[in-house]
Amino acid sequence: MTGPIRVAIVDDHPVFRLGMTGLLGSLPGVVVVGQAADAAEARALVTADVDVVLMDLHLGGDSGIEVTRDLVRAHRGLAVLVITMSDDEEAVVAAVRCGARGYLLKTAGPDAVERAIRAVANGEMILGPQVAARAMSTLVSGRTAVRVPFPELSAREREVLDLVARGHDNAAIARRLVLSPKTVRNHVTTILTKLSVSSRPTLIVRAREGGLGGMEASEEMGPA
């Protein structure tokens, strides 16, 4: 590509954003256009002028997977480079399926970050060495990477949804996850909205169709 690479940084940790801004600002031909701490800020920040988005997968209560999908759909040609602490195969598969062009761990060195940014800006697909090693191990062992159910949800929201699908009420979910009932209730409301489902019974059916819930005995279901 011609001209500087315009990069937006999306991460809920301010120290990481500041450090990455300093690193990228020292690279020739790279310009940081702004930072975002959550999904709403990311959607407002990223415009057609942005070339690369550095995306964390966990944005507080928001899902970087969902934000990646929305940004890629909204801006043709946008390159999303996931940079996160999670190296599990499910997260990699979900990120790629939602349109990410690269996947790095936050332990990557400055040279690796620079190479990845320039690669995805030029339309290449890139995985960090540790991520690539895990992917190769999966291929060599003959295992099939597991599809992440409901990638638009955060990891915590999927955990809550799994327990909802098992028939637990909000109080039981709160005890299991060591959360307040209000927090669980908020998670359930968010899940209903994200999945465009209007009721808890319908949500349970949808979750079980997606592979969540297992065979655990049901408890009395409480209100969402």
Same domain, 97 and 170: no
Could you tell me where the beta strands, DSSP code E, fall in 99-162?
A: 102-105, 126-127
Last residue of a domain, one of 141, 171, 196: 141
Same domain, 132 and 22: yes
Quick one: how far is CA 86 from the chain centroid? 10
224 is a domain residue: no
Same domain, 127 and 169: no
Could you tell me where the beta strands, DSSP code E, fall in 30-116?
A: 30-36, 52-55, 58-59, 62-63, 79-84, 102-105
95 is a domain residue: yes
Count of beta carbons in the 10 Å neighbourhood of residue 115 = 17
Which CATH number does the domain housing residue 100 bear?
Answer: 3.40.50.2300
pLDDT in tens, 159-184: 899 999 999 999 999 998 888 899 99
71 is a domain residue: yes
Same domain, 27 and 101: yes
Same domain, 125 and 188: no
Question: Considering only CA atoms, which of 109, 115, 100 is closest in space to residue 70?
Answer: 100
Same domain, 29 and 92: yes
Same domain, 68 and 179: no
Which CATH number does the domain housing residue 170 bear?
Answer: 1.10.10.10
Rounded mean pLDDT of the chain? 85
176 is a domain residue: yes
pLDDT at 33: 95
37 is a domain residue: yes
189 pLDDT more than 80: yes
pTM for the predicted model, two decimal places: 0.63
Structurally, the chain folds into a number of domains equal to: 2
pLDDT at 53: 97
Same domain, 13 and 50: yes
190 is a domain residue: yes
pLDDT in tens, 74-105: 998 899 999 988 777 777 878 888 889 999 98
pLDDT in tens, 21-51: 999 999 999 999 999 999 999 999 999 899 9
pLDDT at 218: 41
- Give the residues across from 58 on adjacent strands: 63
Q: What is the DSSP letter of 148?
A: P
Beta-strand pair 5-10/58-59: unpaired
Same domain, 23 and 119: yes
118 is a domain residue: yes
Q: HSE-up of 130 (CA within 13 Å, CB side)? A: 14
198 is a domain residue: yes
- What range does the domain containing 171 cover? 155-209
Count of beta carbons in the 10 Å neighbourhood of residue 93 = 19
Same domain, 60 and 112: yes
